[in-house]
């Protein structure tokens, strides 16, 4: 059964509540990230997505003469200990 009652919705409060949830989720995700600035000549690890038993999972590119265009998501910052 339907009633002819006007529905009062506070869209501004709904929008503000959603925006608060979005901001909190972004803050939580960004807190987990590590900052790293890539430099020319720096060393990185290249992810190998199809490894076999004999190949390592990641390779180190050490030769600065070799230029290869890679997706940034395939790179992992390399830090010498």
Distance CA 78, CA 6 (A): 62
pTM of the predicted structure, to 2 decimals = 0.47
Per-residue confidence band for 59, with pLDDT thresholds at 50, 70 and 90: very low
Distance CA 79, CA 45 (A): 10
- Residues of the chain above pLDDT 70, percent: 72
Of 10-14, 40-44, 50-54, 67-71, which one has max mean pLDDT?
10-14
Name which of 51, 57, 55 is nearest 76 in CA terms. 57
Q: Which has the higher per-residue pLDDT, 16 or 45?
A: 16
- Please say if the pLDDT value at position 42 is more than 80: no
């Amino acid at each position: 059964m339907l009633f002819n009652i006007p529905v009062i919705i506070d869209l501004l409060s709904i929008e503000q509540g959603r925006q608060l949830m979005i901001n909190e989720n972004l803050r939580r995700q960004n807190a987990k990230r590590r900052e790293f600035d890539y430099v020319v000549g720096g060393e990185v690890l290249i992810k190998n997505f199809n490894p076999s038993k004999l190949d390592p999972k990641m390779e180190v590119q050490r030769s600065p003469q070799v230029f290869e265009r890679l997706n940034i998501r395939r790179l992992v910052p390399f830090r010498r200990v």
